[in-house]
Amino acid sequence: MINKIQKRGLETVRSKGQRAFTLVELVTVIAIILILVGLLLPAIQHLREASRRTTCTSNQRNLGLAVLNFQTSRGHFPGHEVDYDYHLGFIYLLLPYLEQSPLFSEIDPKFSYNDDRNDNPARTIVPVLICPSDGVQFSPGERFGPTNYVGNAGVGFDVGGYNGVFAPGVTGLSPADLEDGMSNTAMISEALSSGEDYYLRWIFDSPRRFSPAEQDEFANYCRRNRIRSDSTDVFSRCATWMGPSLEQVHYNHFVEPGYPSCLNKNSVTLGSFPANSYHPGGVNVLFADGHTDFVANSIDLGVWRSLGSRNGIDR
């Protein structure tokens, strides 16, 4: 009698138990979850990049304030106030205005950025010089502290030459020298010093030296082709914020943003050093009056060159 009651109870429990998922139902649920994840991931990535871009813009604005404070105190924009070829670049002069006075005091301007006597400051990572979108965390063990922010050297090559706010070898420029107006003259933009895209952070050779009459041909070559040679093994973009040369702390407006850098055969001074970044579609640009704009990679070349010039030369 007891066994019959127990058996009936067990059958009742089984009859009231939940039915298991079928294989079709399980696959359907998994598919819905995957679709939802696929929809959410781009939104999350967009939010993360928006945050990184905000930080990047904030860094540029701080650099802009440093430049303007330097200009107010000295009467001119920072330039190459020490030997351009062998010593330090303009970023070094901004350190006291970026709350980096101890680092500034540690540097001996009588020696170059790669001299052993400047080894410790040269290795220093300065956070305001790093854009988080670049994608690589640098360690203090790196040979040099890099920068993602570069000064406008001008249009470049033969198109107006070095006519930017930070023209190599030029010092003593004042707001009056920016004939196009401070709000119309680019001052600082971005360039990649690391990250996943090998082609955007290394500098490549052209197969021959292009003449000034072939500037459009050279520009087209730099947009399309990549030649890696022994001479470029040592050239990487923005590898040190302390250096003075074009490939280290400058960019030019010879071609639109978003392209890799390109030597004119083996000439650095005649090379193309575009602005580029991992921000989707363009780069942040800080203008001489301190405001920032996002400039699309698809900008008209004439307009881009005009923004790079301080004196109306755009072609």
Question: Do 92 and 109 meet the contact criterion of CB atoms below 8 Å apart?
Answer: yes
Average pLDDT, the chain: 83
The tens digit of pLDDT for each residue in 141-172 reads 667 889 999 999 999 988 888 899 998 878 88
What token pair was written down for 257? 């943003």
- pTM tops 0.95: no
For residue 11, is pLDDT > 60?
Answer: no
**Residue in this structure with the two tokens 């392209």, named with its chain if needed:** 259
For residue 104, is pLDDT > 80?
Answer: yes
For residue 201, is pLDDT > 60?
Answer: yes
pLDDT the model gives residue 140: 57
Highest averaged pLDDT of the listed ranges 6-15, 199-208, 286-295, 304-313:
286-295
The tens digit of pLDDT for each residue in 217-233 reads 999 999 987 776 555 55
pLDDT the model gives residue 86: 52
pLDDT the model gives residue 168: 81
Q: How confident is the model at residue 197 (pLDDT cuts 50, 70, 90)?
A: confident
**Residue in this structure with the two tokens 């920068």, named with its chain if needed:** 147
The tens digit of pLDDT for each residue in 275-310 reads 999 999 999 999 999 999 999 999 999 999 999 999
**11-22: average pLDDT:** 57
The tens digit of pLDDT for each residue in 26-39 reads 777 787 777 776 76
- Of the chain, the end-to-end C-alpha distance in Å amounts to 104
**194-206: average pLDDT:** 81
pLDDT the model gives residue 84: 40
Q: How confident is the model at residue 5 (pLDDT cuts 50, 70, 90)?
A: very low
Question: Do 174 and 157 meet the contact criterion of CB atoms below 8 Å apart?
Answer: no
Q: How confident is the model at residue 181 (pLDDT cuts 50, 70, 90)?
A: very high
Q: Other C-beta atoms within 10 Å of 310: how many?
A: 25
Q: How confident is the model at residue 19 (pLDDT cuts 50, 70, 90)?
A: low
pLDDT the model gives residue 40: 64
d(CA 166, CA 173): 9
Q: How confident is the model at residue 16 (pLDDT cuts 50, 70, 90)?
A: low
248 CB burial (10 A radius; 0-12, 13-18, 19+)? buried
Which residues are 161's β-sheet partners?
156
Q: Which residue has the higher pLDDT, 284 or 87?
A: 284
pLDDT the model gives residue 45: 59
φ, ψ at 181 (rounded to 5°): 95, 145
Q: What is the CA radius of gyration of the chain?
A: 27
Q: Which residue has the higher pLDDT, 96 or 88?
A: 96
**237-258: average pLDDT:** 92
Q: Where are the domains of the chain?
A: 23-308
